[in-house]
């Protein structure tokens, strides 16, 4: 039992540093909590809980992308880890492992095809991964809070068909149809969030439901037919490269990536997502609005699916109800390959970018080698299995320590 005792009335705010444990009014231990993982000096709004300070603990600087339960106590941190534990900690906890994998792929395909390691092909890869990358940004936030979103591919198709239906069938100006299409995706994500936070459905079931509903609505809008033909100014967003290398859609993806990186790594709101993924109950006790944040994470994921839909429509010069098939799995794969944990609390935008590039390079390189798309899916599935296995072994290693 900790030796220093602090209690506070409900609603009061404490300025805390170091390591603490949170107990309920009945002195039942809820979960160890190191507030340095959220912020070196964190304000805690007390919610009917006692706060016990751990004796003789020195605050340490901890990466906010590290799960709450992934750090060993101070006396164990000083011990030399085994070779396997060191390797497992190195690969998933940062983007070092995925970067090594990406570098190996680049080397292998460079020697396998003379057309691979060229500027033109590199720009093609960037163009090809833009849609997946936008979806993966939203999926990163969802997985960080310990959720899953199986609906983004279908929501993309629904938003894409909404765009074409409004523009061609209803005669609405494209400048108005675009924000409505994005709002459609956001609304779909909001419904998923409501099912999870208020109806208490598991994220898997709620988003699986939305996946079916959105795909059906995408086909209902135009009775299953595709819509072809957008204005040249719209398609040029994906086809014209400014400064000789950067299309507007790739530029948009990079800007969104930067904004997401800053938010998750440096903003208190981003650290709240890691806190929720580490332990929703402890996050709630520390004053974080878990339900509201979860709701908006799914809404933003849906909005990003809407933006991805607009991007794909510009690239294809059409809207297709079959668009986005299996993209939800690719987005999850990119996030997991990038070092995120499906159990929540771990993940980074940088790792997701590397994961997206790994999938893009794999597909591009295998296409250049004439490999069947079906075999490509098998290869990507094996890569996902390896990434999840490494994550599972890492978490077991952390638990053992």
Same domain (yes/no): 202, 266:
yes
Using CB atoms within 10 A of its CB, is residue 400 exposed (0-12), middle (13-18) or buried (19+)? Answer: exposed
Give the per-residue pLDDT at 26. 40
Lowest-confidence pick of 14-18, 330-334, 343-347, 376-380: 14-18
**Quick one: CA dihedral 127, 92, 378, 212, positive or negative?**
negative
Same domain (yes/no): 23, 90:
no
**CATH number of residue 140's parent domain:** 1.10.3470
Please give the average per-residue pLDDT across 190-204, as a whole number: 96
What value does the mean pLDDT of the chain take?
A: 80
Please give the average per-residue pLDDT across 339-350, as a whole number: 90
Please give the average per-residue pLDDT across 272-298, as a whole number: 94
Same domain (yes/no): 132, 229:
yes
Q: Could you tell me which of 218, 168, 165 has the C-alpha nearest to residue 188?
A: 218
Give the per-residue pLDDT at 80. 52
Decide which of 47, 62, 77 is a domain's last residue.
Answer: 62
How far apart are alpha carbons 36 and 15 in whole angstroms? Answer: 12
**Alpha carbon 258 to chain centroid distance?**
14
Interhelix angle for 152-164 vs 290-316, to 10°?
Answer: 50
Say if 48 falls within a structural domain: yes
Look at the chain and report how many structural domains it folds into: 2
Most confident of 102-116, 238-252, 291-305: 291-305
**Quick one: CA dihedral 135, 150, 320, 182, positive or negative?**
negative
How far apart are alpha carbons 146 and 274 in whole angstroms? Answer: 9
The answer to whether 388 and 336 are in contact (CB under 8 A) is yes
Say if 41 falls within a structural domain: yes
Same domain (yes/no): 57, 158:
no
Residue 381 in tokens: 């599935």
Q: Is 388 left (phi over 0), alpha (psi -120 to 50) or beta?
A: alpha
Say if 71 falls within a structural domain: no
**φ, ψ of residue 227 in degrees (nearest 5):** -115, 125
Q: Please report which residue ranges of 223-344 form alpha helices under DSSP H.
A: 232-239, 248-266, 268-278, 280-285, 290-316, 327-337
Higher pLDDT, 22 or 270: 270
Same domain (yes/no): 177, 40:
no
Give the per-residue pLDDT at 362. 92
Same domain (yes/no): 105, 16:
no
Give the per-residue pLDDT at 82. 54
Whether residue 225 is predicted with pLDDT greater than 70 in this model: the reply is yes
Same domain (yes/no): 109, 154:
yes
Q: Could you tell me which of 218, 240, 180 has the C-alpha nearest to residue 319?
A: 218
How far apart are alpha carbons 125 and 141 in whole angstroms? Answer: 24
Same domain (yes/no): 28, 177:
no
Whether residue 84 is predicted with pLDDT greater than 60 in this model: the reply is no
Give the pLDDT band (50/70/90) at residue 17: very low
Give the pLDDT band (50/70/90) at residue 75: very low
Say if 79 falls within a structural domain: no
Same domain (yes/no): 8, 131:
no
Say if 205 falls within a structural domain: yes
Looking at the chain, the whole-number percentage of residues with pLDDT higher than 90 is: 57
Give the pLDDT band (50/70/90) at residue 350: very high
Please give the average per-residue pLDDT across 20-41, as a whole number: 42
Q: Could you tell me which of 257, 315, 288 has the C-alpha nearest to residue 141?
A: 257
Say if 78 falls within a structural domain: no
Say if 68 falls within a structural domain: no
Containing domain of residue 179, as a range?
Answer: 85-400
Please give the average per-residue pLDDT across 303-327, as a whole number: 94
Higher pLDDT, 175 or 91: 175
Residue 150 in tokens: 């199986």
Whether residue 240 is predicted with pLDDT greater than 80 in this model: the reply is yes
Residue 332 in tokens: 């999850």
Whether residue 255 is predicted with pLDDT greater than 90 in this model: the reply is yes
Same domain (yes/no): 163, 223:
yes
Higher pLDDT, 101 or 22: 101
Same domain (yes/no): 152, 288:
yes
Same domain (yes/no): 373, 273:
yes
CA dihedral 37, 43, 47, 51 (to 10 degrees): 70
How far apart are alpha carbons 385 and 102 in whole angstroms? Answer: 17
The answer to whether 142 and 298 are in contact (CB under 8 A) is yes
Please give the average per-residue pLDDT across 108-127, as a whole number: 91
Q: Which residues lie closer than 8 Å to 110 by C-beta, 6 or more apart?
A: 116, 117
């Amino acid at each position: 039992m900790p030796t220093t005792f602090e209690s506070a009335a409900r609603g009061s705010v404490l300025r805390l540093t170091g390591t603490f444990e949170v107990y309920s009014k009945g002195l039942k231990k809820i979960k160890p909590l190191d507030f340095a993982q959220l912020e070196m000096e964190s304000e805690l709004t007390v919610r009917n809980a006692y706060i016990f300070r751990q004796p003789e603990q020195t605050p340490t600087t901890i990466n906010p992308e590290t799960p709450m339960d992934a750090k060993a106590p101070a006396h164990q941190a000083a011990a030399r880890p085994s070779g396997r534990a060191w390797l497992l900690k190195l690969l998933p906890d940062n983007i070092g492992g995925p970067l090594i994998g990406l570098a190996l792929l680049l080397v292998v395909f460079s020697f396998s095809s003379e057309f691979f390691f060229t500027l033109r092909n590199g720009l093609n890869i960037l163009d090809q991964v833009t849609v997946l990358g936008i979806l993966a940004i939203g999926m990163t936030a969802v997985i960080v809070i310990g959720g899953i979103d199986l609906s983004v591919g279908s929501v993309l198709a629904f938003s894409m068909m909404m765009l074409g239906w409004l523009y061609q069938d209803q005669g609405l100006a494209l400048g108005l149809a675009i924000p409505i299409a994005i709002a459609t995706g956001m609304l779909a994500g909001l419904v998923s969030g409501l099912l999870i936070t208020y109806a208490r459905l598991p994220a898997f079931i709620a988003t699986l439901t939305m996946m079916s509903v959105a795909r059906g609505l995408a086909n209902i809008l135009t009775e299953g037919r595709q819509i072809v033909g957008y204005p040249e100014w719209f398609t040029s967003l994906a086809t014209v490269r400014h400064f000789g290398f950067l299309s507007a859609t790739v530029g948009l993806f990079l800007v969104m990536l930067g904004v997401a990186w800053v938010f998750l790594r440096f903003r208190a709101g981003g650290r709240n997502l890691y806190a929720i993924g580490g332990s929703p109950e402890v996050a709630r006790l520390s004053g974080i609005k878990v339900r509201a944040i979860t709701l908006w994470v799914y809404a933003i994921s849906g909005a990003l699916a809407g933006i991805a839909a607009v991007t794909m429509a510009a690239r294809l010069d059409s809207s297709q109800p079959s668009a986005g098939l299996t993209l939800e799995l690719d987005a999850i794969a990119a996030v997991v390959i990038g070092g995120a944990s499906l159990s929540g609390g771990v993940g980074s935008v940088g790792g997701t970018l590397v994961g997206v590039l790994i999938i893009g390079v794999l597909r591009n390189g295998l296409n250049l080698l004439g490999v069947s798309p079906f075999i490509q899916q098998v290869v990507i599935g094996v890569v996902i299995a390896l990434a999840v296995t490494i994550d599972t072994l890492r978490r077991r290693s952390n638990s053992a320590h």
